[in-house]
Amino acid sequence: MSHKTKAIPPKRLIHLAEGNFSHRKSKMTTGVLRYGYHHSLAVIDSTRVGETANQVIGFGGDVPVVASLRDALDFQPEAILVGITPAGGRLPDDMKQTLLEAIEHGLDVYAGLHDFLTDDPELVAAAKRKGVMLWDIRKPDKHLPVGGGLTRWSKSYISLMVGSDCAIGKMTVALEIDRAAKARGIDCEFVATGQCGIAIAGWGSPIDAIPGDFMAGCVERDVLTCEGSEIILVEGQGSLLHPGFSSVTLGLVHGSCPDSFVLCHQITRREISNIREVPIPSLDEVMRPYIDIVRPFKPNAKLVGVSFNSVGVSDEEAKAAIADAEKLLGVPATDPIRYGAEKLVEAMQKHRKEIGK
Amino acid sequence: MSHKTKAIPPKRLIHLAEGNFSHRKSKMTTGVLRYGYHHSLAVIDSTRVGETANQVIGFGGDVPVVASLRDALDFQPEAILVGITPAGGRLPDDMKQTLLEAIEHGLDVYAGLHDFLTDDPELVAAAKRKGVMLWDIRKPDKHLPVGGGLTRWSKSYISLMVGSDCAIGKMTVALEIDRAAKARGIDCEFVATGQCGIAIAGWGSPIDAIPGDFMAGCVERDVLTCEGSEIILVEGQGSLLHPGFSSVTLGLVHGSCPDSFVLCHQITRREISNIREVPIPSLDEVMRPYIDIVRPFKPNAKLVGVSFNSVGVSDEEAKAAIADAEKLLGVPATDPIRYGAEKLVEAMQKHRKEIGK
């Protein structure tokens, strides 16, 4: 599913999040509700029946929470999304039963599990019999390309979201910039690189599931699929500083050869996550290797803006952090959720003009 | 096979390199002949019959080239290594027939192909029947760990080979340092990270075949397997500058958190390979992102030496390049093949002392 031309078309979608509909436990569902181009009809979670998505997670409007697949079928869905990403990536057995039932009712099934739907003989047989599609969002394509630095010749303006750490708001800022840019009539594309982003966009490559030799190549191919757009926003993953996930990050840097970076940082984050006692360096130090590494391909690549995640701090503290970063780095900063992403769109438009793109 | 404790023991080995016994086309065989701890008995290549390894590739001593498996069996081998890495990674059909015949004679089979021996039902059935082992050198373990930066606490002195580009001599310098260090009685370990290195050492992880999220974790685990050694030399892969393979390189940096780097460079190389018109930066610029990225984990990590590949240049030119690099970078430089690796061992011993390891 990694080519935009092969994107899954928008569908009338229900979400399976039994016992787990929340920000933390049903990341796929919350992402699609916030940004997805699918038409979300209902969320299955018998523990929150009667509430709306907005009541449970603060957005998603009036999409109702229902008790069962049977109730969700009243909305005449075309597809069901496994909204959770369980620890270990395995599909709980009761969820599998629900999916088999959904297939019997002619629904396509989408999931971003480590265990693939298409490796389960029962699900495969049922899907074949009913002529429905199983979409394993984390399953890489069969034919994978090696990166060749080709995106350095792109005529589009390419910007990559990077972070001072993992799970810090890189997908969110890309989608907020995408939304703000489109609102201004800019021809903008979002390139998804993780399962949640792919579920939202309907296409993309699950870079973290792809063997090392092909990570950059997949991103490169996906970015080139969008060639001709005014702005191409590439979803970030991990961090060059994180020992667990830095390889994936670097695949994105070389695969996209960006004209600019947006740096994401969480104000309260002091240490690299899950790594004891390794402090995050100052933001200018964080950026240096990104710029150094892309320079041979894009000699003028630069940091274009900073996106703060200001969860858990006061408005005053958030504004102080923004002012400090703007002073230190000389580029605009914002929290796109609190204060919008317009500043970042403006910075990109200005930079595009400067480099004649 | 990624734990040292599970290493393949040295075997009486024959090499299958039919029609391809040369430096360029039988990389696995030439690597094992040069450094392998197996006992190489013969190389099968009917086009070079009667010559010795030394006559064909300049080392490997009197190991004879023979016409067929039948002739090679006279040497009473225990295992056969597929010595070539064919384009596309597929096993040619006539080679498969030879392997089936070898299995019938009770030989284990080693191969570093993209297509796994263990995915071929015929080979698997034959191996099972005869009780022999199929070793797919490029096949990752089933259970893969995520990196946690744990090697930063290692008491061993860890040095990672890095390069200004791909295919520049990173495995070679590690093995030359390993040999020179062991000759001095230093307790040194070589951690293989690619198929050729793994074939040579008998263990290691094929990092380029491992999904991005687990590359650093595998290296980390392998390095920790050697904990307690005086020096741990980690085979390098790719280059932080190469858009196709940089992810793999970074997995090694974070997986090993080295105390030092050895920088490999080919004197005649001006551009990043297979990438049109992207010049390799100066060697100090090449090193900067490596140091920046490892600094949060090893604040005192440094470049400890430079290893030149001086193929195709005169002795005078090689010595001039070495002198220039020593002046620019302030560390010893050598070509380990022409001038030995002793200078690099000495530099590591000095650095070990300085940091109290």
Phi, psi at B138, each rounded to 5°: -90, 5
Which DSSP state fits B299?
Answer: T
Burial of A9: CB neighbours in 10 Å, binned 0-12, 13-18, 19+: exposed
Residues B154 and B45 in one domain: no
User: Which of B216, B217, B275 is opposite residue A148, by nearest beta carbon?
Assistant: B275
On whether both A180 and A123 belong to a single domain, the answer is: no
Name the 3-class secondary structure at B329.
Answer: helix
Check CB contact of A312 with chain B, cutoff 8 Å.
no
Residues A111-132: what's their mean pLDDT? 93
CA distance A175 to A182: 10
Q: CB B212 to CB A248 under 8 A?
A: yes
* Three-class secondary structure of residue B330 per DSSP: coil
Is the pLDDT at A79 greater than 90? The verdict is yes
Same domain, B218 and B328: yes
- From A107's Cα to the closest Cα of chain B, the distance in A is 31
| pLDDT of the residue at B2 | 54
- Whether A144 is in a domain gets the answer no
Do B258 and B282 share a structural domain? yes
Residues 160-219 of A with CB under 8 A from B: 207-213, 215-217
Say how many domains are in chain A: 2
Question: What pLDDT, in 10s, does the model give residues A296-342?
Answer: 999 999 999 999 999 999 999 999 999 999 999 999 999 999 999 99
Cα distances (angstroms) measured from residue B350 to each of B262, B303, B355:
14, 13, 9
| Ranges of chain B with pLDDT below 50 | 1
Cα–Cα distance list, B210 to A49, A247, B174 (Å): 42, 11, 22
Chain B contact present for A278, CB below 8 A: yes
pLDDT in tens, A29-55: 999 999 887 899 999 999 999 999 999
Element (H, E) at A306: strand A302-309
| DSSP code, position A147 | P
Task: Say which CATH number the domain at B326 has.
Answer: 3.40.50.300
Per DSSP (E only), the strands in A102-259 are 108-111, 134-136, 157-163, 188-191, 231-234
Q: Using CB atoms, pick whichever of B209, B247, B280 lies closest to residue A250.
A: B247
Q: Which of A280, A230, A284 is nearest to A261 (CA)?
A: A284
Q: Look-up: residue for tokens 């229900």?
A: A14
Tokens, residue A217: 């190549």
The nearest CA of chain B is from the CA of A144 a distance in Å of 12
> What residue has token string 């400067």?
A354
Asked if A287 and A176 sit in the same domain, the reply is: yes
Pick the more confident residue, A117 or B168. Answer: A117
Residue A23, Cβ neighbours under 10 Å: how many?
A: 11
pLDDT for the residue numbered B6: 67
| Coil vs helix vs strand at A311 | coil
Which tokens sit at B203? Answer: 């263990």
Q: Indicate whether B61 and B187 sit together in one domain.
A: no
Residues of A in contact with B281 (CB under 8 A): 295-296
Q: Write down which residue in A136, A168, A187 finishes a domain.
A: A136
Handedness of CA A91, A97, A103, A105 (dihedral sign): negative
Distance of residue B255 Cα from the nearest chain A Cα, in angstroms: 7
Nearest CA in chain A to B245: A213
Q: Which residues of B touch A279 (CB under 8 A)?
A: 296
- With respect to residue B141, please indicate whether it lies within any of the assigned structural domains: no
Q: Nearest 5°: phi and psi at B353?
A: -60, -45
Instruction: Specify whether A170 is located in the same domain as A110.
Output: no
Q: pLDDT, tens digit, for every residue of A154-177?
A: 999 999 999 998 888 899 999 999
Query: What is the model's pLDDT at position B71?
Result: 97
For the record, the structure tokens of A204 come out as 């993309």
Please give the structure tokens belonging to residue B211.
């999904």
Task: Please indicate, yes or no, if residue A319 is contained in any of the structural domains.
Answer: yes
Task: Find out whether B230 and A244 touch, Cβ atoms under 8 Å.
Answer: no
Whether B235 and B331 map to the same domain: the answer is: yes
In a domain, B177, yes or no: yes
A210–B210 CB contact, under 8 Å = no
- Rounded to whole angstroms, the Cα distance separating A92 from A100 reads 13
Residue B4: both structure tokens together: 């040292």
Angle of helix A246-256 relative to helix A283-294, nearest 10 degrees? 50
The answer to whether residue A143 is domain-embedded is no
Which among A208, A251, A296 has the least Cβ separation from residue B241? A296
Q: Which of A88, A108, A136 is the last residue of a domain?
A: A136
B228 and B131 in a common domain:
no
The confidence score (pLDDT) of residue A4 equals 66
Name, in order, each residue with C-beta under 8 angstroms of B274's C-beta and a sequence gap of 6 or more: A148, B244
A224 touches chain B (CB under 8 A): no
Mark whether B119 and B91 lie in a shared domain. yes
- Tell me how crowded residue B39 is: count the other CB atoms within 10 A of its CB: 13
A230-264, pLDDT tens digit by residue?
A: 999 999 999 999 998 899 999 999 999 999 999 99
Nearest CA in chain A to B249: A247
pLDDT of residue B159: 98
Shared-domain flag, residues A90 and A155? no
A352 CA: distance to closest CA in chain B (Å)? 23
CATH of the domain at A38: 3.40.50.720
The backbone torsions φ and ψ at residue B189, rounded to the nearest 5 degrees and listed phi first, read: -125, 140
Residue A33, domain member (yes or no): yes
E strands along chain B, which residues? 12-16, 39-44, 65-66, 79-82, 108-111, 134-136, 157-163, 188-191, 231-234, 260-266, 302-309, 333-334
**With 0-12 CB in 10 A as exposed, 13-18 as middle and 19+ as buried, what is B333?**
buried
B316-354 pLDDT tens trace: 999 999 999 999 999 999 999 999 999 999 999 999 999
Residue type at A346 in one-letter notation: E
Contacts of B242 in chain A (CB under 8 A): 254
Residues of chain B positioned with their CB less than 8 A from the CB of A208: 211-213
Query: ∠A168-A173-A178 over CA atoms, to 5°?
Result: 160
Does A89 contact chain B (CB < 8 Å)?
A: no
Q: Which domain holds residue A228?
A: 150-354
The SS3 assignment for A312 reads coil
Neighboring chain A residues of B216 at a CB cutoff of 8 Å: 243-244, 246-247
Each residue's pLDDT tens digit, A182-194: 999 999 999 999 9
Q: Which residue's structure tokens are 């063997």?
A: A211
pLDDT at B221: 93
Average pLDDT, chain A: 93
Joined together, the tokens standing for residue B59 give 């080392």
Interface test with A, best of B164, B240, B250, B256 (most A CBs within 10 A): B250
Residue A330 and residue A268 share a domain: yes
Within-domain flag for A141: no
- Percentage above 90 pLDDT, chain A: 79
Shortest alpha-carbon distance between residue B243 and chain A (Å)? 5
Could you say which residues from 247 to 276 on chain B have a Cβ atom under 8 Å away from some Cβ of chain A?
247-251, 253-255, 257, 272, 274-275
- Residue A303 DSSP SS3: strand
Residue B215: phi, psi to the nearest 5?
A: -60, -55
The token pair at B283 is 């060697």
Whether A145 maps to a domain, the answer reads no
Question: Positive or negative, the Cα torsion across B318, B321, B326, B327?
Answer: positive
Q: How many CB pairs under 8 A join A and B?
A: 149
Q: Which of B247, B254, B291 should one mutate to test binding to chain A, selecting the residue with the greatest count of A CBs within 10 A? A: B247
What's the CA gap between A25 and A3, in Å, rounded? 29
β-bridge partners, B134: B109
- A136, A160, A195 - which closes a domain: A136
Contact A122, B218 (CB under 8 A): no
